C-alpha cells in the first residue's frame, strides 16, 4: 500500500545525556524535533508513566522519507530492564563504525555487521558500506517472534503489510520497496518485553484508521488505544490507533495528514534537547534520595 509508510521505532531511554551523544556523535543522526511534557501521554507514548517526560525524534533525515528513532525519557527513571523483544536496527554507515572507533565506543563483530550498543542496551547492526546520501541509511528493524506463522498471519493478513521475504526463521514486511522494513525473527521461546519495550509506528491515511481498528476487533486482536485524536498545543491534531500483535509488540497507526504537519523538522530541535538536558536536575534530586529509580 503506497499510501502507508513506516515511520519510527520508540525507545525508552534512561541516561539522556549519554544516549544523545551516542545517536548524534556515534551514529551521526540529527535531532529533528524535541518536546518536553509535564504529564504522561494519552496514547502512552512514554509507557505506563504519568509524570514529566520528553520526546526526541532523531534520524538521518526528515520523517517524511526516513525511518527515525523516537527517544522517550521519563524524568527520574535511569534504567529500564531489557527483554528479548527488540533484536536490532540495521543501518548502512561505515562512517558510524569509524566514529565509534575514533571515540573508543565498543565495536563488536557479528558476521558481516559491526554491532554498536546504545546506552541502555539497544543494539544497532552497522553494514560497513558508505552511508547513502540518496536514500535512508536505516534498512530494517528486527523484532522477536515466538511463532513465525502466527506473526505472518497478523502482519500480512490483518495489519496489511506486504511480505517481501520469508525463511524458516524470519519474515520481512513493509509498505514500500524504498522504505525501512520490519523483520520478525522466530526465537523459539516466548517474547519477553520487560520494562524497556518499544513501539513501531506507521502512517496511514486518516480515513483508514477506523477500518484498521474494526478489522482487528473482528479478529479478536488486542487494541491498546482505540481510535483517538491527540492534540499537540500549537500544532496539528493527529489521529491514532494503537494495537498489539500476538507477541505483544505495540504498533501505532497514525493519520498521515496530521502527522505530516506535526513532524516537520524543527531547526531548534538540537538546541531544545541540549536545553532540556542542561535543565534536568533529576540526577541531583535522586542522588539525595539514594539514586534514580530503575524500571
Is position 222 within any domain?
yes
Is position 67 within any domain?
yes
Is position 113 within any domain?
yes
Q: Domain with 36 in it: what CATH number?
A: 3.10.180.10
Which domain range does residue 49 map to? 5-290
Residue 283: what pLDDT?
Answer: 67
Is position 168 within any domain?
yes
How many domains, in total, are found in the chain?
1
CA–CA dist 273, 254 (Å, integer): 24
Is position 105 within any domain?
yes
Residue 293: what pLDDT?
Answer: 61
Is position 251 within any domain?
yes
Residue 229: what pLDDT?
Answer: 86
Distances (CA, A) of 273 to 29, 39, 243, 263: 14, 18, 29, 16
Joined together, the cell numbers standing for residue 132 give 547513502
Supply the DSSP string of 95-112, one letter for each residue.
Answer: HHHHHHHHTT---EEETT
Question: Which residues 6+ apart lie within 8 Å of 239 measured at CB?
Answer: 206, 209, 227, 228, 229, 230, 254, 255, 258
The H helix count followed by the E strand count for the chain is: 7, 18
CA–CA dist 227, 4 (Å, integer): 17
In the predicted model, residues of the chain with pLDDT beneath 70 are: 1-2, 232-234, 283-295
Instruction: Determine contact, residues 215/209, Cβ cutoff 8 Å.
Output: no
Is position 295 within any domain?
no
Distances (CA, A) of 250 to 11, 181, 192: 12, 16, 13
Q: pTM of the predicted model, to two decimals?
A: 0.93
For 198-255, the pLDDT digits (tens) are 999 999 999 999 999 999 999 999 999 999 988 766 677 889 999 999 999 999 999 9
Residue 49: what pLDDT?
Answer: 77
Question: Which residues 6+ apart lie within 8 Å of 154 measured at CB?
Answer: 221, 245, 246
Amino acid at each position: 500500500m503506497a499510501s502507508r509508510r513506516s515511520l519510527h521505532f520508540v525507545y525508552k531511554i534512561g541516561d539522556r545525556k549519554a544516549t544523545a551523544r551516542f545517536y548524534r556523535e556515534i551514529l551521526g543522526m540529527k535531532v529533528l524535533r524535541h518536546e518536553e511534557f509535564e504529564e504522561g501521554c494519552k496514547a502512552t507514548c512514554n509507557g505506563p508513566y504519568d509524570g514529566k517526560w520528553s520526546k526526541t525524534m532523531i534520524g538521518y533525515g526528515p520523517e517524511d522519507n526516513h525511518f527515525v528513532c523516537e527517544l522517550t525519557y521519563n524524568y527520574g527513571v535511569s534504567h529500564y530492564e531489557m527483554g528479548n523483544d527488540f533484536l536490532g536496527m540495521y543501518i548502512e554507515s561505515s562512517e558510524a563504525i569509524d566514529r565509534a572507533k575514533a571515540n573508543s565506543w565498543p565495536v563488536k563483530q557479528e558476521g558481516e555487521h559491526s554491532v554498536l550498543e546504545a546506552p541502555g542496551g539497544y543494539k544497532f547492526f552497522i553494514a560497513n558500506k558508505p552511508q547513502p546520501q540518496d536514500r535512508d541509511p536505516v534498512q530494517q528493524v528486527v523484532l522477536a517472534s515466538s511463532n513465525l506463522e502466527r506473526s505472518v498471519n497478523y502482519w500480512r493478513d490483518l495489519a496489511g503489510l506486504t511480505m517481501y521475504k520469508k525463511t524458516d526463521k524470519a519474515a520481512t514486511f513493509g509498505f514500500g520497496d524504498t522504505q525501512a522494513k520490519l523483520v520478525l525473527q522466530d526465537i523459539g521461546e516466548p517474547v519477553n518485553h520487560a520494562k524497556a519495550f518499544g513501539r513501531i509506528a506507521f502512517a496511514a491515511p486518516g480515513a483508514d484508521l477506523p477500518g484498521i481498528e474494526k478489522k482487528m476487533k473482528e479478529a479478536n486482536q488486542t487494541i491498546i488505544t482505540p481510535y483517538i485524536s491527540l492534540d499537540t498545543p500549537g500544532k496539528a491534531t493527529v489521529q491514532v490507533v494503537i494495537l498489539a500483535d500476538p507477541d505483544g509488540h505495540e504498533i501505532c497507526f497514525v493519520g498521515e495528514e496530521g502527522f505530516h504537519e506535526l513532524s516537520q523538522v524543527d531547526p531548534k530541535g538540537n538546541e531544545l534537547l541540549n536545553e532540556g538536558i542542561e535543565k534536568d536536575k533529576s540526577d541531583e534530586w535522586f542522588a539525595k534520595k539514594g539514586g534514580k529509580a530503575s524500571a
